[in-house]
Amino acid sequence: MNIQKKYEMMVEDIGYFLNSYSYEFDAYLDLDNWNVVPCSSSCGEQAHFYPEEGHRILRIEQLPSVDNYNAMRDFVDIVEDEPTREKLTKALANAHPFRRFKTLVLNDNLLRPLWYNHLHKVQRNQALHWLDEHQVTLDGERLVSPQAFEFRFTDFFCDDLIDNELFNHDDEDDEFSDF
């Protein structure tokens, strides 16, 4: 696979995980193989996916949900049909704005592809910003970042989760968290 294609796939994956609100998985960019790796933060009998031991990785932290709210608000501004724009504006102004917005968009066959196109552009820009923020650069065919750390799996990995800041989530109730 050529470098440009690999890079674009990586950017798309980063954009997805920046906006993936799951407490079951964290995600990491594996700089050694350009993959975005989900990593289970639960310690049970469930399957775990980890980066390969010794690989240089960066944690992909989920963006605040207000960023997704702003993406929806920006989308409303580009909708040309006035009645549709009013419905979307009302959805964002009431309780459960993410759910209401999503219901309107998914039930409208003309609006749905426009929304997903807009969302794809937003997520791509977020991923590019994240890469820039973490100083991820390309050195030949190798990804480099001074913020990367080497992943080491230990027998006590699950016990280490409690103390490891990389896995701590803010459990604050977020008014925008139901998207």
Tens of pLDDT, residue by residue over 119-177, are: 999 999 999 999 999 999 998 889 999 999 888 765 334 444 434 444 444 444 444 44
pTM comes to 0.78
| pLDDT score recorded for residue 47 | 46
Higher-pLDDT residue of 45 and 32 is 32
Structure confidence at residue 48 as a pLDDT band (50, 70, 90): low
Q: What residues have CB less than 8 Å from 42, skipping those under 6 apart?
A: 24
Same-domain check for residues 135 and 55: yes
What is the DSSP-derived secondary structure letter of residue 154?
-
Q: Residue 35: enclosing H or E segment and its boundaries?
A: strand 35-40
| pLDDT score recorded for residue 8 | 95
Range of the domain at 105: 65-124
Same-domain check for residues 94 and 140: no
Residue 176 lies in a domain: no
Number of domains in the chain: 2
| pLDDT score recorded for residue 177 | 45
Residue 175 lies in a domain: no
Q: Is 30's pLDDT higher than 90?
A: yes
